[in-house]
A and B are shown apart, each in its own frame.
Chain A
Amino acid sequence: MPLPSWLGPEPDEPLLDMVLAGQTLPGDAPQGIVTMADGLANLAAPAGPGELPGEAAALTAFKRSVSPGSLSAVAGTAGTRRRRVAAGGRVRLAAVLAAVGVVLGGTAAAYAGALPAPVQELAHHVLGAPAARHSSDGHPRTPPSHAARTGRQPGERGRGPLENAAPHGIAKNAHSAHPGKPVRQRHGGHGRNPKKSSRLNR
């Protein structure tokens, strides 16, 4: 039974703090604590046989997240709120958008910036198509992060949306000033495969 706190710290507290900190226990530590610490240290050991289930699924999800045209990748470029949208929700939203795009002249219309402004804006945020409004010099308003990713300046033409370019020289965006916390996705997003960004430079 633990001692009342007014009697001061328990005699084993320094040893328990060492266990918590992963420190080596002194030679005169009670055997029970030593064996327990050893058992806990084993739990931090690398994977044993059969201890990596789920690797294939995780890698598949990762590959999809970096593949061109993937919904999760494109959604990830468009803001923290979209990151929270369930995969099913993104699929449904993209399906609706694709349907609208087909009605209005095809999804290529979205990438050509040819859709009505509200729909074009939606396509911009979900599919990475150009934003509805353009800058005064006539070039599409390209977020700085896309230029950083692609090495191309706004207005420079890239490849079309259906062409597959090998990823190369992916530049990374600056990250949050708050280390350790997930960054709120800025408009235009993060360093990604330049294949996707090429769709924006029209």
Chain B
Amino acid sequence: MLGPAFPATLADAQGGDELAFAAIFRDVQPVLLRYLHVIAPAAAEDVAAETWLQVVAGLTGFSGEERAFRAWLFTIARHRAADWGRARGRRPTVPLVDSGAIEMLLAPDTADVVIERISTRAVLSALATLPRDQGEIIMLRVVAGLDAADVARIVGKSSGAVRVAAHRGLRRLADVVDRSGVTL
């Protein structure tokens, strides 16, 4: 997140400053893509592109701080992903054992030869195998940095239900990690 620099960056972008907009894009896009890889893995880049088109169209009308901006953006992304899902039929869930996530966790990442760590790709693959609500909520809370109230509004659940789903998803992820034997 841009932190204290966000208000000025947003104001500049709303005024037409391309560099300011690029700064916002570069800050959000990695997280947005990773989120979409969990909820719309076959079309993450396309859905992200559609999301940014809508963000650009509504940028000057937005008012709020950084977390509110992310909540707005991820709400748009979720709707675009839902449109994609409706157009292409329900995404089949992949059982964890068939997802390759465990194998990914066990195989050394090309960028982490010396230290065994969970690679980004492996974590995303593991998240994508969770029930849709669990993986999505974890991404919005932990990765996108949204608070519980924002996540509850985005996914249309109560804060309590969000917390329960998140806990269940985290336990499953922790179980995958334990089974893989990966350490820091």
List chain A positions with a Cβ less than 8 A from chain B: 2, 10, 12-13, 16-17, 19-20, 22, 30-36, 38-48, 51-55, 57-59, 61-63, 65-66, 72, 76, 80, 83, 87, 167, 170, 172, 175-176, 178-185, 189-193
Q: List 16 A-B contacts (CB under 8 A).
A: A19-B142, A40-B123, A42-B118, A43-B139, A53-B33, A54-B52, A61-B52, A62-B18, A65-B59, A167-B16, A172-B11, A176-B61, A180-B63, A180-B64, A180-B71, A183-B62
Number of interface residues of B (CB under 8 A): 64
Of the candidates A30, A31, A35, A65, the one whose C-beta lies within 8 Å of that of B56 is A65
Contacts of A182 in B (CB 8 A): 58, 61-62, 72
Interchain CB contact under 8 A, A65 and B57: yes
Q: How far is A97 from B37 in the complex, measured between Cα atoms in Å?
A: 41
**B57 x A83 contact (CB < 8 A):** yes
A94 CA to B130 CA, complexed, in Å: 46
B63 contacts A175, CB within 8 Å? yes
- B132 proximal to A (CB < 8 A): no
Closest to A34 in B: B184
Closest to B116 in A: A35
Which residue of A40, A47, A62 contacts B30 across the interface (Cβ within 8 Å)?
Answer: A47
Contact B29–A43 (Cβ < 8 Å) = no
Q: Which residues of B come within 8 Å of A, CB atoms?
A: 11, 13-16, 18, 21-22, 25-27, 29-31, 33-34, 45, 48-49, 52-53, 56-65, 67-69, 71-72, 117-118, 120, 122-124, 138-139, 141-145, 148, 163, 166-168, 170-171, 173-175, 177-178, 182-184
Query: Does B166 contact A43, Cβ atoms closer than 8 Å?
Result: no
B58: chain A residues within 8 A (beta carbon): 76, 83, 182
B29 touching A52 by the CB < 8 A rule? yes
Residues of B within 8 A of A12 (CB): 167, 171
Give the chain B neighbours of A45 by CB distance below 8 A: 30, 120
Cβ of B50 to closest chain A Cβ, rounded Å: 10
Which residues of chain B are within 8 angstroms of A47 by Cβ–Cβ distance?
26, 29-30
User: Is A179 a contact partner of B63 (Cβ separation < 8 A)?
Assistant: yes
Residues in B neighbouring A17, C-beta threshold 8 A:
163
Contact partner of A35 (CB less than 8 A), chosen from B29, B65, B183, is: B183
A58 to B48, CA, bound (A): 10
Instruction: Name the residue on A nearest B22 (C-beta).
Output: A59
- Which of A40, A72, A76, A193 lies in contact with B138, CB distance below 8 A? A40
A59-B22, A180-B65 as given contacts; A36 in contact with B52, CB under 8 Å: no
Cα distance A183–B60 in the bound complex, in angstroms: 8
9 more CB-based (< 8 A) A-B contacts, given A51-B33, A65-B56: A35-B118, A36-B170, A43-B31, A48-B30, A58-B29, A59-B21, A72-B56, A83-B58, A183-B63
CB distance from A7 to the nearest CB of B (A): 15
Note all chain B residues with C-beta closer than 8 A to A43: 31, 34, 120, 123-124, 139, 142-143
Judge whether A55 and B25 touch: CB under 8 Å: yes
Asked whether A72 and B57 contact (CB < 8 A) given A43-B120, A180-B71, the answer is yes
